[in-house]
Amino acid sequence: MAIQMAPSILSADFANLERDITTVSNADWLHVDVMDAHFVPNLTLGLPVLERLAEVSPLPVDAHLMIEDPDHWAPRYAEAGATSVTFHLEAAADPVAIARDLRALGARSSVALKPGTPVDQVLDILTEFDMVLIMTVEPGFGGQAFMPETMPKVTALREAATASGQALRIEVDGGVARDTVATVVEAGADVLVAGSAVFGAEDPAAEVEALRALAEEASHR
């Protein structure tokens, strides 16, 4: 499967958000970080803002819910216009029920794991998901250092998906930049979230293409 790029809006200019998300319309997803100041120590946006972003975004929205009670909230984000909804396993009471609710609403189901959460916890329920997000930093903030120790989880997922023939997308998020792209792709990731690397660049669209090119090159090695 081709590499997909997903700029994270956490590093965009919130005063000019519509301009910034239009700038990266050459990417594949708009990664929208939803934080509640409980599951993570940061607060971003809620349903009405997500709804507006989905309206104005030239890209499909993946809502990354770093919030408590995704059993209640995840379907609400699908109804608000997110094409893909990523919720955290650590916060979910019934991850399979959430995944089924999302798919029933026509959204893609995706589950995220914090760096310390073992990957075994999703291996038995992998077919319920279109994508698994392996966090490569502790969720909450942009601009943190990439954690290479999370890579064995990416590889375990890729091996499991390949063995069963599942077209699973594997996303990584946190510290993805020119110097880490090859590492994540060689481990098995194919959806790359990048915040500060993209929106901190002088030309965000060109940076999306530069990261994509490095990733494609690594995937063909």
Give contact residues for ligand 5SP (rule: CB under 6 A).
8, 10-11, 31, 33, 64, 137, 139-144, 173-176, 193-197
33 is in an annotated binding site: yes
Identify which of residues 61 and 137 has a Cβ nearer to ligand 5SP in the complex: 137
| 62 catalytic residue (yes or no) | no
Query: By C-beta, is 139 or 204 nearer to ligand 5SP?
Result: 139
**Least distance from ligand 5SP to the Cβ atom of residue 101, Å:** 22
Neighbouring residues of 3: CB distance < 8 A, sequence distance ≥ 6: 185, 190, 191, 192, 212, 215, 216, 219
**Which one is catalytic: 28, 130, 173, 190?**
173
Work out how close the CB of 108 gets to ligand 5SP at its nearest, in angstroms, rounded to a whole number.
17
Whether 130 is a known active-site residue: answer no
- Give the nearer residue to ligand 5SP in terms of CB position, either 110 or 160: 110
Is 142 annotated to bind ligand?
A: yes
- Nearest approach in angstroms of CB 113 to ligand 5SP is 13
One-letter amino acid of 12: A
Taking each helix axis from N to C end, the angle separating 47-56 and 70-79, rounded to the nearest 10 degrees, works out to: 30
Q: Which is nearer to ligand 5SP, 80 or 193 (CB)?
A: 193
How near is the Cβ of 41 to ligand 5SP at its closest, in Å? 10
N-terminal to C-terminal alpha carbon distance within the chain: 15
Per-residue DSSP letters for 154-189?
A: HHHHHHHHHHHT---EEEEESS-STTTHHHHHHHT-
Q: Which of 20, 33, 62, 190 is catalytic?
A: 33
- For ligand 5SP, the closer CB: 96 or 210: 210
User: Any binding-site annotation on 173?
Assistant: yes
14 annotated ligand-binding residue: no
Q: How many CA atoms lie within 13 Å of 134's alpha carbon, on the beta-carbon side? A: 31
Distance between CA 98 and CA 102 in Å, rounded?
A: 6
**CB 62, CB 72: distance < 8 Å:** no
How long is the chain?
221
Q: Which two tokens stand for residue 36?
A: 């509640």
| 31 has binding-site annotation | yes
Using CA atoms, how far apart are residues 128 and 154, in angstroms rounded to an integer? 17
Could you tell me which of 105, 44, 42 has the C-alpha nearest to residue 74?
Answer: 105
Contact present, 74 and 81 (Cβ < 8 Å):
no
Give binding residues as ranges. 8, 31, 33, 64, 140-143, 173-175, 195-196
Give binding residues for substrate as ranges. 8, 64, 140-143, 173-175, 195-196
Catalytic residues: 33, 173
Give binding residues for a divalent metal cation as ranges. 31, 33, 64, 173
